[in-house]
Amino acid sequence: MAQKIVIFDSTLRDGAQAEGISFSVTDKIKIAQVLDALGVDYIEAGNPGSNPKDLEFFRFFCGKNKNGRSLKHAKLIAFGSTRRKGIEAKDDGNVKALLESGADAVCIFGKSWDFHVTEILNATLEENLEMIRDTVSFLKSCGKEVMFDAEHFFDGYKKNPEYAFAALEAAQNGGANALILCDTNGGCFPDEIYEIVKKVVAKFSVPIGIHTHNDCEMAVANSIVAVGAGATQVQGTFTGFGERCGNANLSAIIPGLQLKKGYNCIFPESMQKLTETARFISEIANISLNKRAAYVGQTAFAHKGGMHIDAVAKNPESFEHINPESVGNTRRNLMSEVSGRSTLLKKIQEVRPDISRTSPEMAKIMDKLKEQEHKGFQFEGAEASFALKIRKLLDDYIPLFELIKFKIISEDIVNNSEHTNATAIVKIRVDDESISAPRDVIAAEEGNGPVSALDKALRKALDEFYHETLAHVKLTDYKVRVLDSNDATDSKVRVLIESTDGFHKWSTVGVSPNVVEASWEALMDSIKFKLIMDKDKRYAVFAY
């Protein structure tokens, strides 16, 4: 059987320390449940002694009134520090809070760098070792599984290897179930990690874990080489976010170890949920998942160059290191002027199988695509807009609504307010099969700026006709790029909008010297594509 590597997820604790991240208790519960379903072994949920929110989370799963609520596989970890100096562990308030959390397992961090002991803790070296041993021993005597995080271990080892080892020995003597080596400052390189971990594994009898940060963009590599050196536990956050530059990214480490190195990290059947889980956690955290993230990113298996796409069509191994479906991702052939005729043909044939390479429509579409990209459109990031243009060029487009006119009224900025309200008035003509004749509709709405107001006004105008279809549609990203800065304020801008209905995501584009008009074009395309996709499921191929 494949060797087991224990996966320890710290998204809810270390990840929550990232700039811009603030989980509610409900958020933390949802993330814990999805990580449990994936097969993660330990979920570090927070420090019950530091804030009421973490304490409430532990009560939900571990309290007296949990009403049968529990995780099916993962163990919850309560996180805290060694006791304070000058007091026994049994009398330390933070240590008591770990016990009161009800968690079966705890992770204790303590100093392993002599510099931190004397300069930060203001303790003697011997006092620190006793703090480690006493805390671990006390928690073990209370029936807890205890892991010891040796904070700043690698920096400490490089400065004073004897003392760094002494800190590990104190934890082992106290009965620690595992010793975790922390690259807390994130400054180590893989060769250093490998050599040091190998020495630790050779000296200690308890399992060794690795906890790395990404300050040198090495966290994933450092985690994987640590396993190669004998570590059997990997700590990280699921999408890599965390303090400063982030933590080791488990959504890259897990498939790297399991699919490429043959280790057993999570349930084999869960590997195909990897991309879905990464996107779910990012959505809960209210951050955009890095599109270029390995394995789970939107562009991880995206191909643009015509020769690349042609090679992948013949044999995916030519330009893909794994099968995208093995991690729940999908291959995407991007639409652009360099994609080549075969790429366009494949996309088009999914909705119009009768079109061939020599069809006159193909030449028409290729010419239009190049013309549009010359004007500044970028369809490789806006496949939904491309789908609408294909439909129009194939004379297969019946507009469900069209703009007659719109007007924006902006309020004056008062007292340097961060919010500038605007009112949008739109007039559209709706021509749907559910009504006997085209109808003009006028709607007005206020928003935080003109684009927000336009979005709300358009939805209000369409609500009577397409309420169920558009009820769950929302914008998830909005980007503006100046195309030629030499023209200063007269420059064209390209607006890219990403939308979702909770199941699919799609992107649309607008280009104009007027940022409001470019935004309106992208907004209309977003709504039109959703309406078309719901009527003709084949067009879902242009979403992701």
Residue at 448: amino acid letter: N
Angle (nearest 5°) at CA 74 between 70 and 79: 95
pLDDT for res 183: 98
What is d(CA 423, CA 419) in angstroms, rounded to the nearest whole number?
Answer: 13
Considering all CA atoms of the chain, what is the largest pairwise distance in Å, rounded to the nearest integer? 87
Residue at 221: amino acid letter: A
pLDDT for res 306: 63
Parse the chain into domains and list their residue ranges. Answer: 6-285, 302-371, 401-542
pLDDT for res 70: 84
Two structure tokens written together for 184 = 């807390």
What is d(CA 45, CA 407) in angstroms, rounded to the nearest whole number?
Answer: 50
CA dihedral 9, 169, 156, 188 (to 10 degrees): -40
SS3 category, 432: coil
Residue 294: what are its φ and ψ, rounded to 5°? -60, 145
- Burial of residue 541 (number of CB atoms within 10 Å: 0-12, 13-18, 19+): middle
Two structure tokens written together for 362 = 């193909």
Residue at 401: amino acid letter: F
pLDDT for res 451: 87
User: What's the distance, CA 134 to chain centroid?
Assistant: 39
Q: Specify the CATH number for 6-285; select among 3.30.450.20, 3.40.50.620, 3.20.20.70, 3.40.350.10.
A: 3.20.20.70
For 180, half-sphere exposure in the C-beta direction (CA atoms, 13 angstrom radius) is 25
Q: Return the DSSP state at 213.
A: B
What is d(CA 48, CA 95) in angstroms, rounded to the nearest whole number?
Answer: 10
For residue 362, give every residue at least 6 positions away whose Cβ sits within 8 Å of its Cβ, in sequence order, or none: 341, 344, 345, 348, 355, 356
Residue 105: what are its φ and ψ, rounded to 5°? -130, 145
Two structure tokens written together for 3 = 């060797």
Two structure tokens written together for 32 = 């814990």
CATH class of 401-542: alpha beta
Q: Are 171 and 148 in contact (CB under 8 A)?
A: yes
User: What's the distance, CA 18 to chain centroid?
Assistant: 13
pLDDT for res 131: 98
Q: Among 278, 282, 325, 330, which residue's Cα sits nearest to residue 302?
A: 330
Instruction: Kindly indicate whether the domain formed by 302-371 is annotated with CATH number 4.10.430.20.
Output: yes
SS3 category, 119: helix
Per-residue confidence in pLDDT tens, the chain, 544 aa: 799 999 999 999 999 999 989 999 999 999 999 999 999 999 999 998 777 888 899 989 987 666 667 899 999 999 999 999 999 999 999 999 999 999 999 999 999 999 999 999 999 999 999 999 999 999 999 999 999 999 999 999 999 999 999 999 999 999 999 999 999 999 999 999 999 999 999 999 999 999 999 999 999 999 999 999 999 999 999 999 999 999 999 999 999 999 999 999 999 999 999 999 998 898 888 888 898 999 999 889 988 766 776 787 788 889 899 999 999 998 877 765 555 566 677 777 777 788 888 888 787 777 777 777 777 676 666 788 888 888 888 777 777 889 999 999 986 555 555 556 899 999 999 987 777 788 999 999 998 888 889 999 999 999 989 999 899 898 888 888 887 656 656 678 888 898 988 888 898 988 998 889 999 999 999 999 999 898 888 788 778 7
Q: Are 518 and 496 in contact (CB under 8 A)?
A: no
Q: Say how many C-beta atoms besides its own lie within 10 A of residue 421's C-beta.
A: 17
Q: Return the DSSP state at 264.
A: B
